[in-house]
Amino acid sequence: MPTALAFDVFGTVVDWRSSVIRELTEFGVEHGISRDWAAFADEWRGGYAPAMDRVRRGELPWTRIDDLHRMALVEMLAAAGVEVADNDVNHLNRAWHRLDPWPDSVEGLTRLKRRFVITTLSNGNVSLLTNMAKRAGLPWDCVISAELFRHYKPDAEAYLGCADLLGVQPAQLMLVAAHPNDLRAARANGLMTAYVARPREHGPDQQPDRVDDGEFDFTATDFLDLADRLGA
Amino acid sequence: MPTALAFDVFGTVVDWRSSVIRELTEFGVEHGISRDWAAFADEWRGGYAPAMDRVRRGELPWTRIDDLHRMALVEMLAAAGVEVADNDVNHLNRAWHRLDPWPDSVEGLTRLKRRFVITTLSNGNVSLLTNMAKRAGLPWDCVISAELFRHYKPDAEAYLGCADLLGVQPAQLMLVAAHPNDLRAARANGLMTAYVARPREHGPDQQPDRVDDGEFDFTATDFLDLADRLGA
C-alpha cells in the first residue's frame, strides 16, 4: 500500500467540461452573446496540451496555466468577434478556479484522507487549485502543483518532486488519474498508479480509454470504489 | 482587509516547546534515559536560527528543516551520552511533525478560513507542515513553505513568493505571527501584518515582546480575538 496519494485534478477530480460550459453560458447571458459554448469549451481545453508542450520544449518560458488559459481565451474571443472589458476576460478566465467536482469526489477524498496523505499533483497553478478546493470543499492535506517544479506533467520532475516534497520514496506515492498517459509517466518514474475511469470527461461521445489488464496497480470506477479497494 | 492570511507556524500556531518536551519525555521513558528534557528542547530549538542563517548566508547548501533538526539532534544526543538506533533518532526527530496547536488555533483558523484564504508560511518543510496539519486538524487551504523558494524567512523571496503562488499582490496578503522580526520583514516587503501574542512560547519565564503601538496592522491576544478583529 502507498503512504500518500497524489491526484490529477482536471477530469479526474473535477468535471471541467460541464463547469466551463456553465460559466461560458452565464457569460453569454450577461453580455447578450450566443455561441456554441460546448464547442468553445472543447476548443479552450484543446489548446491546453499544445501550450504546455511549448513550455516543456522550452519554446515558451515557464508560464502558469492561468496565463496559458488567458492567452488562448483572448484569441478565441477575438476570433468569435466578442469584445468585452479586461475585467470580464479575467473573471471568465478564472472559470477554471470554479470547477465542480464529480459527484463522488468529496466523499471519496474524505474517506481516503483518513488513511492516506492526499495531495493534488496537477498542472494547474497553486492559486487555481487552492481556490478550487476552497469553493468545492476538496479536503486536500496539501496542494502540490507543477508550478512548484516549473515542469509540467508528464516531465519526470513533477512526479519525483511531489514525492520529495512529501518526504516519501516514489514507490510510496500513488498517482490517481483518469488519464493513462499521466499514469504511464508516473509509473516510469517509480510511482504506484491507480486508474479511475471518467467516461464523461469529454462529454457524451467520449471514446473509452484503452487500458491493459493489470497495467496499473488499481483500477476503479470512481473514488468511492477506489476507497473500497484501498480499505479506506 | 487582506485577501489571504499566511501564518507563521512554530510558536504562532503550535506550542512547539510543550510538545517537544512531551516527545522527549516519552523517548526517555522508552529508552530508560533521564535528562533535563526542557533544557534539551530549548537547546534543540536554539540551534534552529543559527543553522538557517548558515543556509541563508550560503555557508550551507539548501537544507530542509528536518535535516537541520536531525544534524543538531545527533550532536546533542552524542553530547548527552545517549546511544540509540537510527530509527529511534528518526522517530524522535519527527517530533516536530507532531506538535500540538495552541488551544485557540483550530477554532480560530476554522473561523478565519470562512472569510480568507489561509496558508502556512513557515520555515518548516512541506512534509513536516502537512503531517502536522493532518494530525492536529489544522484546516489550511494550502501548505506553503520556505522550502518551495529555497529561501528561509526573513529572506524577501519567502514573503513575495507566497503572494505570487497565491496570485495576490503583497498588500493583499497578511502575515500572522507571534514574532516581531518576522512581521517586520513581511512589512518591509509590502505585506500586511498581524501580531498575535504567545507569551508562553518559550515557557513560563518568557520576556514579553517589545512592540510599538500601531507598529502592525492588527494586534490580537489569540486567533479567536484575531477573527473578531477581522470580522470572521
Residue B213 has pLDDT above 90, yes or no: no
pLDDT of residue A48: 87
Residue pair A194/A220 in contact (Cβ under 8 Å)? The answer is yes
3-state per-residue secondary structure call for A175-221: EEECCHHHHHHHHHCCCEEEEECCCCCCCCCCCCCCCCCCCCCEEEC
Percent of chain B clearing pLDDT 90 (strictly above)? 95
Same domain, B154 and B85: no
pLDDT of residue A51: 93
Judged by CB atoms closer than 8 Å, whether chains meet at B147 and A129 is answered as: no
CATH assignment of the domain containing A148? 3.40.50.1000
| Residue B124, all three cell numbers | 518548516
pLDDT of residue B48: 87
Q: Of A73, A97, A121, which residue sits at a domain end?
A: A97
pLDDT of residue B89: 98
CATH assignment of the domain containing A93? 1.10.150.240
Residue B152 has pLDDT above 90, yes or no: yes
Same domain, B126 and B52: no
The Cα of A31 is separated from the nearest Cα of chain B by a number of Å equal to: 27
Judged by CB atoms closer than 8 Å, whether chains meet at A131 and B117 is answered as: yes
Parallel/antiparallel/unpaired status of strands A117-122 and A142-145 = parallel
Q: Of B66, B97, B128, which residue sits at a domain end?
A: B97
Same domain, A106 and A212: yes
Q: Which amino acid makes up residue B63?
A: T
Q: What domain range includes position A53?
A: 16-97
Distance from first CA to last CA of chain B, Å, rounded? 11
Residue pair B99/B19 in contact (Cβ under 8 Å)? The answer is yes
Same domain, A65 and A109: no
Residue B99 has pLDDT above 90, yes or no: yes
Interface test with A, best of B130, B131, B172 (most A CBs within 10 A): B130
Judged by CB atoms closer than 8 Å, whether chains meet at A126 and B66 is answered as: no
DSSP single-letter state for residue B147: G
pLDDT of residue A62: 96
Q: Where are the alpha helices (DSSP H) in B96-147?
A: 105-115, 126-136
Question: What ipTM, to 2 d.p.?
Answer: 0.96
pLDDT of residue B81: 93
Same domain, A68 and A175: no
Q: Of B97, B128, B143, which residue sits at a domain end?
A: B97
Same domain, B10 and B113: yes
The Cα of B127 is separated from the nearest Cα of chain A by a number of Å equal to: 5
Contacts of B138 (CB under 8 A, 6+ apart): B13, B101, B105, B106, B109, B132
Same domain, A27 and A130: no
Judged by CB atoms closer than 8 Å, whether chains meet at A130 and B142 is answered as: yes
Same domain, B58 and B119: no
Angle at the Cα of B210 from the Cα atoms of B207 and B215, rounded to 5 degrees: 150
Same domain, B118 and B194: yes
Residue pair B196/B177 in contact (Cβ under 8 Å)? The answer is yes
Q: How many domains does chain B have?
A: 2
Judged by CB atoms closer than 8 Å, whether chains meet at A66 and B143 is answered as: no
Instruction: Please tell me the number of Cα atoms within 13 Å of A222 on its side-chain side.
Output: 15
Residue B59 has pLDDT above 90, yes or no: yes
Judged by CB atoms closer than 8 Å, whether chains meet at B143 and A148 is answered as: no
Same domain, A110 and A171: yes
pLDDT of residue A46: 94
Q: What is the mean pLDDT of chain B?
A: 97
Higher pLDDT, B48 or B108: B108
What does the pLDDT profile of chain A (232 residues) look like in tens digits?
999 999 999 999 999 999 999 999 999 999 999 999 999 999 999 998 999 999 999 999 999 999 999 999 999 999 999 999 999 999 999 999 999 999 999 999 999 999 999 999 999 999 999 999 999 999 999 999 999 999 999 999 999 999 999 999 999 999 999 999 999 999 999 999 999 999 999 999 899 888 888 999 999 999 999 999 999 9
Residue A164: strand, helix, or coil: helix
The Cα of B211 is separated from the nearest Cα of chain A by a number of Å equal to: 33
Q: How far is it, in rounded angstroms, from Cα A168 to Cα A192?
A: 12
Same domain, A108 and A222: yes
Q: In chain B, which residues have their Cβ closer than 8 Å to the Cβ of A129?
A: 142
Same domain, B150 and B225: yes
Q: Where are the alpha helices (DSSP H) in chain A?
A: 16-31, 37-46, 48-56, 65-79, 86-93, 105-115, 126-136, 156-166, 180-188, 223-229
The Cα of A98 is separated from the nearest Cα of chain B by a number of Å equal to: 15
